[in-house]
Structure 1
Amino acid sequence: MTLNQLEYFCAVCRYHSITRAAESLFVSQPTISTSIRNLEKEFHLRLFTHGQNRITLTNDGSLFYKKAEYILHRAHEMYTDFSDKDTNKAPLRIGITSTPSALLLPSLAMEFEEKYGIPVKLMECSSMHARELVDNDELDVAIANLDFYNLDNYDYHTVIEDTYVYCVDKNHHLAKEPSVSFETLKEEPIILFNTDSVQSHTVITGFRSEGATPHIKMYCSQLTTVLNCLSAGNCGAFLYSAMTLPENIVKIPVEPRISNQFGLLWKKGVFITDHLGKFIQYMGNYKFTSTNLRPVIAEPSVAAASAEAE
């Protein structure tokens, strides 16, 4: 039995729904269902009865719920007593990718620090490296590209989805094209983010699917370097349509359309600390405009695990 399993169980009890419990905790429905099955197997109990539109507690489930609530309350109380002292307030370690999370995270992180008084430590890295750091407990959470094959090995919450555009300087010979394809770009010098980025993998796969080989001019980790190269030369780069770019940079739609999802990603099965829970809630309650990456605050509608237990 773990505290996370008890968190999931109690959320289902409160909402009488696995779907709503999963939404409130920013985890998948299978994660909730598996945790409950494991609890029932461990204690040889049947905790719920399943009706047509509602889940209800059995007699054993009601007794188990009271005990679980008591344990969670004491666990959060203990965490608060011993972790919120100024001398022992470790920063929340957040990984951010080169784009677009590097554009939206710094300002949001500062707002989060001011609102909750929780220190934040940001680390810029590729999405792949961020996942490794999360796996090794070197990051608490990452804002990363969520389009990778083993996403279900993590808990995650999607923040924004965006499509690729091909970006060039306004004086580039392709600047007035209504759209471009991988076939038409096969001879064009392009800039990609580092080889371990999901963006690079996605773009190279797109070229190969058309039987083309990309002419890669440079691999780069910094967006500012990419933009400087676009302004100074005849190369292009694949960026995201929602990004606000300098006026001299032209965005050209890519056909066929390719998109990526970005969001919060944290280690599956870990206990959601008060700091992490507040950050998940904070980011989950933001809405992002379709024209840029500047956040628009939304009315709170869901609460993270730790916030619900308080």
Structure 2
Amino acid sequence: MEEPDKMKLLQLRYFYAACQYSNITEASRALYVSQPAITNAIRDLEKEFGVTLLQRLNRGFQLTEEGEFFLLQATELLKHADQVTEIMNDRGQKRKLIRLGVPPMIGTCLFPNIYKAFKLLYPEIHIDTKEHGSQDLLKLLDRDYLDLVILPTNEIPVSDYNVINFSNTETVFCVSNNHSLANKKKVSIDDCLTQPLILFHSGFYHTTLINKIFKERGAEPNIIHTSTQLETIIQFIRKDIACGFLFDEVVNNSSGVRGIPFDPPISIQVGLVYKKNHQMFTAMIDFIQFIKAGDFLNQR
């Protein structure tokens, strides 16, 4: 009887994708391979090890105990294989990629100058940018889906991450030009307690910050809508549907919106964040040194 082939990385990737999507059909679409290719790869693994990895159901499947254990091992093996590939590509000068995370407001007011200045110096390096809330970006960084993130760093634990602060900004209270508070030079949090608010979704630093400030006042923010889209938030404010909290630089570039400073000010530090003891690739080192030099700040 012919022995099955020894376990291959491709089989592990098929099995991992099936588990990630909880569906072989969806996994086949994501990988651009046939369903039988994935099914046969999993069956070959089961045959090789003499275990059942998946319990087939009428719709989809569920992992067996052995399948749960194997998924943990496969995840670590694939992660290590990808790291080895990146290391060797870096040694061969083929890894010209930075996976960077940026929240929407930083992506609007700071990142364009950073991107432009960096690409002038390193046109061969591709920056693959993901835009999410700060907390979600940190999770992606922790799971090695991102190399670097640019975030508000006020509450980033320096015991867990390397942090390079390069800018300070101020959060202001944002209203339409027709709002009753529009002519005030400064506001306090107490002025905002009863105002209808639009905030970013949970997972965004600003939302966490505002909820914390309101809680310290013993109050709940009057949130009428949340969004992940900066433009949606600006439109709600511009049309006098709700008020919001944005970076001063964002408001300066938004017509029909008035940003009022807080008394005392709500100051935000912005910096580059990356994991400690992380494999450093040449492109990452170039970007870190570029941020440390800070020449892009002169273009603001």
| TM-score after normalising by structure 2 | 0.65
Partner of 1:296: 298
Q: CA deviation at 1:272?
A: 2.4
Q: In the superposition, relative to structure 1, how do residues 176 and 92 fare at CA in structure 2: closer, same or farther (>3 Å)?
A: same
Q: In the superposition, relative to structure 1, how do residues 268 and 218 fare at CA in structure 2: closer, same or farther (>3 Å)?
A: same
Q: CA deviation at 1:103?
A: 3.0
Partner of 2:186: 179
**Residue 89 of structure 1 aligns to which amino acid in structure 2?**
R
* Match of residue 203, structure 2, among 192, 196, 202: 196
Whole-Å separation in 1 of the counterparts to 2:149 and 2:242: 31
Q: In the superposition, relative to structure 1, how do residues 165 and 188 fare at CA in structure 2: closer, same or farther (>3 Å)?
A: same
**Residue 264 of structure 1 aligns to which amino acid in structure 2?**
L
Moved segments of 4+, more than 3 Å = 78-83
The 8 Å contact of residues 169 and 249 in structure 1, kept in 2 or not, is answered as yes
Q: In the superposition, relative to structure 1, how do residues 196 and 80 fare at CA in structure 2: closer, same or farther (>3 Å)?
A: closer
The 8 Å contact of residues 152 and 268 in structure 2, kept in 1 or not, is answered as yes
Structure 2 residue 275 is matched with structure 1 residue 273? no
Q: In the superposition, relative to structure 1, how do residues 89 and 174 fare at CA in structure 2: closer, same or farther (>3 Å)?
A: same
Partner of 1:130: 137
**Residue 92 of structure 2 aligns to which amino acid in structure 1?**
S
The 8 Å contact of residues 172 and 234 in structure 1, kept in 2 or not, is answered as no
Structure 2 residue 83 is matched with structure 1 residue 83? no
SS in 1 for 2:212: helix
Whole-Å separation in 2 of the counterparts to 1:252 and 1:106: 25
Write out per-residue CA displacement over residues 100-154 of structure 1, whole angstroms, 9 at most, x where no aligned residue: 2443224432442342111110000111111111111110100011122534200
Q: CA deviation at 1:230?
A: 1.1
Partner of 2:52: none
Give ranges in structure 1 of 5+ residues lacking alignment. 1-77, 289-294, 299-310
The structure number with the bigger radius of gyration is 2
* Identity over aligned pairs, percent: 25
* Match of residue 125, structure 2, among 118, 125, 132: 118
Give ranges in structure 2 of 5+ residues lacking alignment. 1-86
Partner of 1:245: 253
**Residue 296 of structure 1 aligns to which amino acid in structure 2?**
N
Whole-Å separation in 1 of the counterparts to 2:157 and 2:258: 35
Partner of 1:223: 230
Whole-Å separation in 1 of the counterparts to 2:90 and 2:266: 48
Q: In the superposition, relative to structure 1, how do residues 81 and 126 fare at CA in structure 2: closer, same or farther (>3 Å)?
A: closer
